[in-house]
A and B are shown apart, each in its own frame.
Chain A
């Protein structure tokens, strides 16, 4: 173990949330809960990226006075990356929920095991 685990508490929280979301994808049979886990992983990635852009003692990169010096502002690049990530996350969530709705209308259940059982029963 390195020495920075306690000072990097934002990143540590982010990876723990990532692991929790990953576990939800594995352990829940309910499709809606899988989508929630997926969103949880997305949010933890955003937290990780945003915390990487922070520099202590500096302000957000909105240039307020005439001094244009990078000594005063935090890093704007992670903010742009997080913006991209949020848009993709919203789109993927909508797509997954639409698929889930179709599956529910087809099988009248949200449990993945039950769906697989019903579709196998239809094939035979």
Chain B
């Protein structure tokens, strides 16, 4: 049976084969050193007894970890068997907090979608923290993965044999991307803007926008997007979104937060311009998430984005 290449590679990987073979002639400060150190001829031969010892230890370790994990599963299953019935309407989790959220949310926050009203009105600081978590994650990935510049200014990208070919010469993929990418972009924007009226919101819509940007870059190359989306663009978009979020929510909390008069009209529930601050907050979150998705992709695939700086 002939398997597709990626499936064959994946199966080999599951069975322990090295997917990224070490290039023999690779150079670099660490690599030559590693070759020297890892040379099997120079390696001192471990005595047979010690090897048996470590084999026994690893077998013991595997057995112990299986036992520990089975114990964890059995304990948790016993706990589950004592939990209240699935789907019952008098379970302890269905308490007065949920009742109040569902019954009063429409007049207090004004959003038809109760989840949006909950996470962007009652628990808005939680969502601000989430956006900051995403921003900090991108910062750490930039610190870890951003490619250095050589002396002539070109990117010093580490050579991995499995680096996916950008802009593959594939007419089917390109046509599909040409049709799908604008639709995905518009759908993502719709999900962001409609987050307080239907299922969705900043996180899911931002993820859809980021996915269509990644699709575009995979199909048509990143030269054109690099001119627009540089490090400083990323910095300013994320900074503006986070600071807008903070200022809007600060105003809301400063004026009393809990249903007191804040001067922000709630509008008619169900209209697109309603629900007070939830629509602008959703847009801020969507911008942060879309930029984060694209930044993750380009950092992992080529160690940076944009041609500025």
Let me know if B33 and A101 touch, CB within 8 A: no
Q: Which of B86, B91, B134 has most A Cβ within 10 Å?
A: B86
Give the dominant DSSP class at B's interface: helix
Q: CA A96 – CA B105 in complex, angstroms? A: 38
Q: Which of A50-68 contact B (CB under 8 A)?
A: 51-58, 60-64, 68
Q: CA A27 – CA B114 in complex, angstroms? A: 42
Indicate whether B126 reaches chain A with its CB closer than 8 angstroms.
yes
Let me know if A62 and B80 touch, CB within 8 A: no
Q: A76 with B82: in contact, given A16-B73, A19-B70, A55-B88 (CB under 8 Å)?
A: no
Indicate whether B78 reaches chain A with its CB closer than 8 angstroms.
yes
Indicate whether B198 reaches chain A with its CB closer than 8 angstroms.
yes
Q: A108 with B22: in contact, given A11-B86, A52-B93 (CB under 8 Å)?
A: yes
Q: A97 with B300: in contact, given A60-B199, A63-B106, A102-B144 (CB under 8 Å)?
A: yes
Let me know if B130 and A87 touch, CB within 8 A: yes
Q: Which residues of B contact A105 (CB under 8 A)?
A: 30, 158
Q: Please tell me which one of the listed residues B78, B87, B97 contacts residue A77 in the complex, with CB atoms under 8 A apart.
A: B97
Shortest CB distance B98–A (Å)? 5
Q: Which of B115, B136, B300 has most A Cβ within 10 Å?
A: B115
Q: Which of B54-95 contact A (CB under 8 A)?
A: 62, 65-66, 68-70, 72-73, 76-89, 91, 93-94
Q: Which residues of B contact A84 (CB under 8 A)?
A: 126, 130
Q: Which of A84-104 contact B (CB under 8 A)?
A: 84, 86-88, 90-92, 94-95, 97-99, 101-102, 104
Q: Please tell me which one of the listed residues A7, A23, A64, A75 contacts residue B93 in the complex, with CB atoms under 8 A apart.
A: A75
Indicate whether B37 reaches chain A with its CB closer than 8 angstroms.
yes
Q: Which residues of B contact A122 (CB under 8 A)?
A: 33, 37
Let me know if B69 and A26 touch, CB within 8 A: yes
Let me know if A9 and B86 touch, CB within 8 A: yes
Q: CA A100 – CA B300 in complex, angstroms? A: 11
Chain B interface, number of residues (Cβ within 8 angstroms): 68
Q: Please tell me which one of the listed residues B65, B112, B144 contacts residue A62 in the complex, with CB atoms under 8 A apart.
A: B112
Q: Which residues of A contact B113 (CB under 8 A)?
A: 61-62
Let me know if A77 and B118 touch, CB within 8 A: yes
Q: Which of B31, B79, B97, B141 has most A Cβ within 10 Å?
A: B141
Q: Which residues of B contact A8 (CB under 8 A)?
A: 80-81, 83, 85-86
Q: Which residues of A contact B65 (CB under 8 A)?
A: 23, 26-27
Q: CA A80 – CA B98 in complex, angstroms? A: 12
Residue of A nearest to B143 (CB): A98
Residue of B nearest to A21 (CB): B69
Q: Which residues of A contact B134 (CB under 8 A)?
A: 87, 90-91
Residue of B nearest to A108 (CB): B22
Indicate whether A46 reaches chain B with its CB closer than 8 angstroms.
no
Let me know if B115 and A61 touch, CB within 8 A: yes
Shortest CB distance A10–B (Å)? 6
Task: Enumerate chain A interface residues (CB-CB to B < 8 A).
Answer: 1-5, 7-12, 15-16, 18-19, 22-23, 26-27, 51-58, 60-64, 68-70, 73, 75-80, 83-84, 86-88, 90-92, 94-95, 97-99, 101-102, 104-110, 118, 121-122
The 10 closest A-B pairs by CB, nearest first: A56-B87, A19-B73, A91-B137, A2-B82, A26-B65, A15-B76, A61-B114, A5-B81, A2-B81, A98-B144
